[in-house]
Amino acid sequence: MTRFVIRRVLWMLLVLLVVSFITFTLMHLVPGGPWSREKALAPAVVAALNARYGLDKPFFVQYANFLLGILHGNLGISYTYQDRSVTQILMQGFPKTAILGTTAFVFAMIVGISLGMAAALRQNTWIDYVCVMFSTIFASVPGFVLGILLMIVFSVVLHWFPTGGWGSPSQIVMPAIALAALPAAFIARITRASTLETMRQDYVRTARSKGLLERVVLIRHILRNSLIPVVTVAGPQFAALVTGSVIVETIFSIPGIGRLFVQAVFARDYGLIMGTVLFYSFVISVANLVVDILYGVIDPRIRYD
Amino acid sequence: MKRKTVVFSMLAIIIAAILVLAPACSSGTTTAAVPQILRVNLGSEPAQIDPNQASWAQEKSVVSQVFVGLLGFNQDLTLRADVATVIPTVANKGISADGLTITFKLRNNVTWSDGQKVTANDFVYSIKREFDPTLACAYASFYYDIVGGEAYNSATNATDAQLATLKDAVGVSAPDDTTLVVKLNNPQPTMLQCMALWPVYPVRADIIAKYGNNWTDPPNYIGDGPYLLTEWVHQDHLTFKPNPNYWGTKPKLAEIDFKEITDANAALAAYQNNELDIVGVPSGTEKTFLNDKTYDDQRNLFNDLTTFAFQFNVTKAPFDNVLVRQALSCAIDRDSYISNVVGGIGKPALSWIPPGMPGYNATIGSQYAFNVTKAKQLLAQAGYSDVSKLPQITFSYSNTAANTVRAQFLQGQMKDNLGINIILDPEESKTFTTNVNSGKFMWAYFGWGADYPDPDDWLPSLFGTGAGNNHTLYSNPAFDALSATALKEQDNTKRLADWDQAQKMVMDDAPIVTIFYRERFNLVKTTVKGLKTTGMDGGIIGDTFFNEVSISK
């Protein structure tokens, strides 16, 4: 197992390097730069800005400087938010996005697994149809529509929740629901399919015929085994949720990093783009690694060399 | 039975939790004295609130609360002496007879928020810092008429010793604590207006030296204005409280909250949920709010100093022919644009300089009033009585939802009125800017807002040969000559007459088709009193006079 983890970590470093190089190249190929504005800045000012941020150096020198910075633990400086480093910006925003993402993940897992299992255990009854209907609806309504709808109903009309921002638990509820809807639907469907398959297995029939209580059969045999495919998707889902959603964060004004990356690309903030991309790649790689390790824990049949 | 119970009870717990949390979180009403808190939406995170380096409207909103400069603008856009005792003129010897030296006398009771006195040296430091090439301040070029400014600002590869010499050579000095002397290369009458802008607000040399880039974080952000920035939660909100050591009239508000709600519709929802006191009406909903009676006493409309136009690239056929440009200008129904595209907010524009500022002349451009017959005649004169002979015309714009509607309107007008098919070319925002700035366009959407309320901010840098913001590539030696004299003309009446002539010259040549003068449309709660909106407002309406606002029941 240790050798497996070490191999994966080495691959991860390689992936990060390649990702950083591709992003760096694409970033500089795209037309426009951090200083392009409709009201053009004076050429002397642009020259001074380029000198200040090292943008007047050759391409590979800039990339090398960036890598050197990474080795020293410095993700670079932002060109738009000039009073903070990229690390500071990410550290300020990431906890909020992570908390929101984790809350949404928990919602999605609870609702998704419950709906999925209920549907499977009561297949072809009204419970099944209702659960499938809900999961289809949640999978079809886009995040921004759901977000605005929640805001109008629960804030503007009912005044139950504030419309956005961050700081109190009541401000997490609506964004978490909007964010959790699609993953919940997805998880529900997978849980349902997987539970149905597990229920048909021989060992379940054996367990029942042994005289075990239905509850014991459910928890000890069905639940754990039907969750394996759910774990497969849960890992990447968690990574996606934790790195944030542009749309939900924009609508609910969550000061996280979800919308930071998109804004940085539009602003051609090279420093912030590189730092954020690396950060995201790192988080996703680690999440995938954790999922793979969890497999070994959940399913003893899976072994890594 | 038991499985069902488990599943259902889990769902029930979740729903119950939400229902319990919800009412507990709704805000209760207070019966105490009305809290003097103003909550507004800044809309986005200000990137840089250092006055010397700030350049965007949102940043200006923040700087205006915490700093006061030598001069300011009244609501009618005339100048006002703030830290200076009087506005320098030739008559009061504030401006020398040759116009090359401006002397400001400062009040001696002006203090920083930590109690120290504001002296002329603070202004000297600030102005020199504005030219510092290592900072690359966006607005430095506005002050290039100050002796030594441009040389210092352009010295990007100089040694420290060379930089020090250049810095010393900048023509600002403080003979004593309450006198500031500014030396100019040319007599530039609008330098006074530039001195009223935020890039030359005073800043504290010792604070900046001590804290470096962190000086803009509270509590280091020391200013001489009516408010203090007490809290900045990045990407979320900024909070201002009154400056206890303010030397002027104490503001009435006890707190101002600048929220950072980026989505316009979310901001509107926040206003309707009583979380904001002022909000901008989202694009596309203007008609609803204009007609809804419940908002009768909450509407706030005023003209912004901004004009929007479609700019031609006058080097690309058929736009190298002035008759074609004039023809297309006559073929656009601007009234229809106002009512159909911008929801009835704004005024149709035939001239370039907008109403509400010196230089506005309603008669200029009147020859472009909507007249399809005239347009066809002009086209025929240009040799295009058969419009299919025209080269393919492409209209470029930045691909926002609002711009798409504008472009489609233009496409419709060209087709319906003249039978010309134009191709629409939406581009990503910065790509569009880059293409326009390098001349890679035929016809593009374009707007200009005043940096300061004077014609010399609207003409030479846009229409002078080779000027920095001249993307039409328009070149007219007569205009250049007239601009050169007008920029230095000390007799204000003659100066404005010169600019009027220059504006007419440009509009007669039609390198741009002006479409409308923008108005800002906001909703303001009836509890907000004393709000003064001006054409020089920053990101939030009335933000240059927040020190006069109060909240009533």
pLDDT tens by residue, B489-532:
989 999 999 999 999 999 999 999 999 999 999 999 999 999 99
Residue A81 pLDDT grade (very low, low, confident, very high; cuts 50, 70, 90): confident
The dihedral sign for the CA sequence B381, B385, B389, B392: positive
Kindly identify which residue of chain A lies nearest to residue B59, measuring between CA atoms. Answer: A81
A87 touches chain B (CB under 8 A): no
Instruction: Collect all residues with Cβ–Cβ distance below 8 Å to B61 and sequence separation of at least 6.
Output: B42, B46, B258, B538, B539, B540, B543
Q: Which of A33, A110, A155 sits opposite B269 (nearest CB)?
A: A155
pLDDT, position B31 = 47
- Touching B: A residues 2-21, CB under 8 Å: none
The 10s digit of each residue's pLDDT in A175-193 is: 999 999 999 999 999 999 9
Residues of A in contact with B23 (CB under 8 A): 160
A156 touches chain B (CB under 8 A): yes
Residues of A in contact with B150 (CB under 8 A): 44
Share of chain A above pLDDT 90, in %: 26
A45 touches chain B (CB under 8 A): yes
Q: For residues B404 and B397, what is the distance between their CA atoms, to the nearest angstrom?
A: 8
Instruction: Collect all residues with Cβ–Cβ distance below 8 Å to A230 and sequence separation of at least 6.
Output: A112, A113, A187, A190, A191, A194
pLDDT at B22 over 60: no
Cβ–Cβ below 8 Å for B235 and A45 = no
Tokens of A180: 């959790």
Q: Where are the beta strands (DSSP E) in B98-246?
A: 101-105, 172-176, 179-183, 227-233, 237-242
The 10s digit of each residue's pLDDT in A14-39 is: 999 999 999 999 988 988 888 888 88
Q: Which of A49, A118, A255 sits opposite B234 (nearest CB)?
A: A255
Q: Which of A92, A114, A166 sits opposite B10 (nearest CB)?
A: A114
B290-to-A111, B308, B369 alpha-carbon distances in Å: 43, 22, 26
- Angle, helices A143-151 vs B264-272, to 10°: value is 20
Burial B299-317 (b: 16+ CB within 10 A, else e): ebeebbbbbbbbbbbbebe
Kindly identify which residue of chain B lies nearest to residue A90, measuring between CA atoms. Answer: B234
Residues of B in contact with A158 (CB under 8 A): 22
Q: For residues A290 and A4, what is the distance between their CA atoms, to the nearest angstrom?
A: 12
Q: For residues B239 and B247, what is the distance between their CA atoms, to the nearest angstrom?
A: 21
pLDDT, position B7 = 64
Closest C-alpha to B269, from A133, A221, A147, A129: A147
Cβ–Cβ below 8 Å for A47 and B156 = yes
At B522 the three-state DSSP class reads strand
- Angle, helices A86-121 vs A270-298, to 10°: value is 40
Cβ–Cβ below 8 Å for B154 and A44 = yes
Check if the beta carbon of residue A160 is closer than 8 Å to that of residue B23. yes
Tokens of B85: 């005792």
Please tell me whether the interface predicted TM-score (ipTM) of this complex is above 0.85. Answer: no
The 10s digit of each residue's pLDDT in B89-125 is: 999 999 999 999 999 999 999 999 999 999 999 999 9
Tell me the average pLDDT across A80-100: 87
B282 vs A297: which has the higher pLDDT: B282
Closest C-alpha to B240, from B60, B52, B83, B39: B39
Residue A227 pLDDT grade (very low, low, confident, very high; cuts 50, 70, 90): confident
- Touching B: A residues 209-268, CB under 8 Å: 214-215, 218, 250-253, 255-256, 259-260, 266-268
Q: Which of A89, A170, A268 sits opposite B21 (nearest CB)?
A: A170
pLDDT at A285 over 90: no
Residues of A in contact with B435 (CB under 8 A): 31
A149 touches chain B (CB under 8 A): no
Q: How far is CA B261 from the centre of its chain?
A: 19
Provide the terminal-to-terminal Cα distance of chain A, rounded to the nearest Å: 7
Tell me the average pLDDT across B448-460: 94
A161 touches chain B (CB under 8 A): yes
Kindly identify which residue of chain A lies nearest to residue B259, measuring between CA atoms. Answer: A165
Check if the beta carbon of residue B363 is closer than 8 Å to that of residue B305. no
Lowest mean pLDDT among A116-125, A286-295, B277-286, B287-296: A286-295
Q: Which residues pair with B447 in a beta bridge?
A: B308
Tell me the average pLDDT across B35-59: 93
Beta-sheet strand order (sheet of B237-242): B37-41, B255-259, B237-242, B227-233
How many A-B residue pairs are in contact by the CB < 8 A criterion?
Answer: 187
The dihedral sign for the CA sequence A287, A288, A290, A294: positive
Cβ–Cβ below 8 Å for B18 and A173 = yes
Q: What is the mean pLDDT of chain B?
A: 92
Q: For residues B414 and B416, what is the distance between their CA atoms, to the nearest angstrom?
A: 6
Q: Which residues pair with B40 in a beta bridge?
A: B258
pLDDT at B24 over 50: no
pLDDT at B23 over 60: no
pLDDT, position A1 = 74
pLDDT at A296 over 60: yes
Tell me the average pLDDT across A110-135: 90
pLDDT at B88 over 50: yes
pLDDT, position B12 = 63
A39 touches chain B (CB under 8 A): yes
A240 vs B67: which has the higher pLDDT: B67
pLDDT, position B17 = 59
**Using only C-alpha atoms, what is the Rg of chain A?**
24
